[in-house]
Amino acid sequence: MDTGKNIVIVGGGFAGTTLAKGLLRRLPPGHRVVLVSEESYTTFNPMLAEVVGAAVFPEHVVAPIRQMLGTAAAERSQFVMGRATGVDAPGRTLAVDTLAGPQRVPYEHLVLAFGTRANLTLVPGLAEHALPLKLVGDALHIRNRVLQRVARIELETDPAERRRLGHFIVIGGGFSGVETAGSLSDFLRDALRYYPRVRADELQVTVLQDAERLLLELPEPLGRAAARSLQARGVVVRLGARAERVEAGGVVLAGGEFIAGATVICTIGTQANPLVAQLACATQRGRIETLPDLSVPGWPGVWALGDCALVRNGTAFAPPTAQFAVAEARALARNLLAAIAGRATLPFSHTSRGMMATTGHLKGVALVFGLRLSGLPAWLLWRAYYLLLMPTLGRKVRIFVEWTWSMFFSADITHLRFTRTADADAPHPHPLAHTTHTTR
C-alpha cells in the first residue's frame, strides 16, 4: 500500500463519493485520495422504494464507485474494497479487511463517512419477522416476497389466510415508509391483472405511524396531504399506532390490538456502524460529534460527515439526509484543502432547499424554498432532483427511459431467483411453503 500523503475516506455513500470527487479536482501535488468501502457501488437510498414497486431495476439505483471517481484521476486516487476494522490514531493508519487479506492504510487525513446500519432491536420481533429496507438487496428481497405472497394466495383456499397473506404492513410514516407504501400499493394494483384468482379486496397495504401525522420533517399540511394521497389509492394509514411487538402472523400494537399480516416491512430505526464503538471519540445516539468545521475533537487529522456524524448547522444539527450529506462533503473538501495549505477552516453552514416524498405513481408532496407542492408537480420535481444526482449521462438516460416506460406500461412482475446450475435440482423447502401465524 502506497505510503504517500493519503486522504483516506471510509464510506462510499453520497457523502464519501461527493467528497472524493470534490478533492480530486483540486488535490495538491503529492497527495491522493483513498476511498474505502465494503461495497463497490453507491446506493441511492431515496430510490429504494422505486425498486420495491418495480418502477426501476435494482441496478438503476446503484452507481459503481470506480466509475464515479473516473479514470482520469487514477494516479491521484485509489478505491479499496474492504471493511475498516480499526484506527491507529498515533500511527495514523487505518486497518482494513480487504479481498487480499488485512491491510493497513496510512493517512494524513482520515474522513469517516460510513453511514449507519438498520436497527432491528427497537421493537421485539423485528429481527425475526420483519423485512428491513436499508440496502438495495433489501428492496429486491421485499419485491420478491410480495410476488411470492400473491402467488401463494392463488393456491390458498382459506379466506382468512388469503387476507392475511395479502396484507402488507409498513412500520414507519417517515419518507421511506410513505414512499414504500405508495409504491407497493401501485405495484400490487398493476400486478393484479396477472393473478386472475386473486381479488383486489384481498390485497391491502397499511402504514403504522407512531405520531399524529405522517412526514414529521415537513409542515403539517403536507403531512396531511400525504396521508390523503395514500388513502386515495387504498392504503390504510394508522396514526398514533405504535408497534409493540412483531410476530410471525402480524403486529401487536400498544394497547393490545393485533393486526394480522404475513409481511411486515420496517423503515424505522438506525444504529451506528460497529467501527464507531471501537473509537474513543464522543458520540450522541451513535453519531460522532464534530466541531463546526467537521473535524473530530481530540483526534488530529480525523473528520466525520454524513449520517454517522452529528454536524452542527447554525443553532441546530444537520439532518441525516442526502441533501445535507452532499453539502457537508463540499464544505469538508474546502476545509481539507485549507488544512493542507495551512489556512483556517470554516464552520459548516447550509440552508435547506427543501424536502420531498412520493406517495405513489404521479403523486407526491414537497417543500421547496418555502413553496409547498403536492400531487403531480411534487412527483415530477422529486424525479428530476434524483435524476440530476445520478452520475454519468449514460446512467441518467437509462433511468429516464425506464421511468418513462413505467408511466405507460404495467410494472415488471419478474421474480428474480439467482439459482446456480449446481443448485437447480437440489431438494430444498420453499421459503414460503409453511408459514406459522398467530390466530386471535
Domain boundaries for CATH 3.50.50.60 within the chain: 5-118+270-341
pLDDT value of position 437: 45
Give 230-265 as a DSSP string. Answer: HHHTT-EEEET--EEEEETTEEEETTS-EEE-SEEE
Contact 116, 320 (CB under 8 A): yes
Q: Is the pTM for the entire model greater than 0.85?
A: yes
pLDDT value of position 280: 82
Query: For the chain, what is the mean pLDDT?
Result: 91
Q: How confident is the model at residue 74 (pLDDT cuts 50, 70, 90)?
A: confident
Architecture of domain 120-268: 3-Layer(bba) Sandwich (3.50)
Domain boundaries for CATH 3.50.50.100 within the chain: 120-268
Residue with cell 431467483: 417
Least confident of 18-27, 157-166, 290-299, 399-408: 399-408
Residue with cell 452532499: 326
- The CATH class given to the 5-118+270-341 domain equals alpha beta
pLDDT tens for 133-143 read 999 999 999 99
Q: How confident is the model at residue 72 (pLDDT cuts 50, 70, 90)?
A: low
Rounded CA-CA distance 105/263 in Å is: 43
Q: How confident is the model at residue 1 (pLDDT cuts 50, 70, 90)?
A: very low
Contact 279, 87 (CB under 8 A): yes
Number of H helices and E strands in the chain, helices first, is 12, 27
Least confident of 32-36, 399-403, 410-414: 410-414
Cell output for 430: 420453499
Residue with cell 488530529: 300
Pinpoint the alpha helices (H) of 6-124.
14-24, 48-52, 65-69
Rounded CA-CA distance 104/348 in Å is: 31
